[in-house]
């Protein structure tokens, strides 16, 4: 199974009600409507951490860290998220 890279807070996009704080860096990952019923891995674009999530009916049921990303400063996370 592949890892899904999830976009977050993109300008002009409809905001999702499901958001997960990345377990690696704390960045807010926005799960779009396509994740209403999903079980599998997602990747934080800001730090690269991979998390296993489970959603059902538009609600987050579980979040677990699969891989830890390298420890980044706040500035490094910001640079990666906008770059």
Instruction: Point out which residues pair with 51 in neighbouring strands.
Output: 42, 65
- Residues paired with 4 in a beta bridge: 42
Structural domain range at position 69: 4-82
- Which of 82, 28, 77 shows the shortest CA–CA distance to 51? 28
For residue 35, how many other CB atoms are within 10 A of its CB?
A: 20
How many domains does the chain contain in total?
1
Predicted pLDDT of residue 52: 93
The pLDDT value given to residue 74: 74
Q: Model's pTM, two decimal places?
A: 0.62
Low-confidence ranges of the chain (pLDDT < 70): 1-16, 68-72, 81, 83
């Amino acid at each position: 199974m592949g890892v899904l890279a999830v976009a977050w807070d993109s300008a002009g996009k409809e905001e999702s009600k499901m958001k997960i704080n990345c377990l690696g860096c704390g960045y807010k990952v926005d799960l779009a409507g396509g994740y209403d019923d999903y079980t599998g891995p997602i990747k934080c674009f800001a730090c690269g951490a991979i998390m296993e999530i489970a959603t059902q009916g538009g609600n987050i049921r579980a979040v677990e860290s699969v891989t830890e990303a390298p420890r980044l400063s706040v500035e490094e996370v910001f640079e990666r998220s906008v770059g």
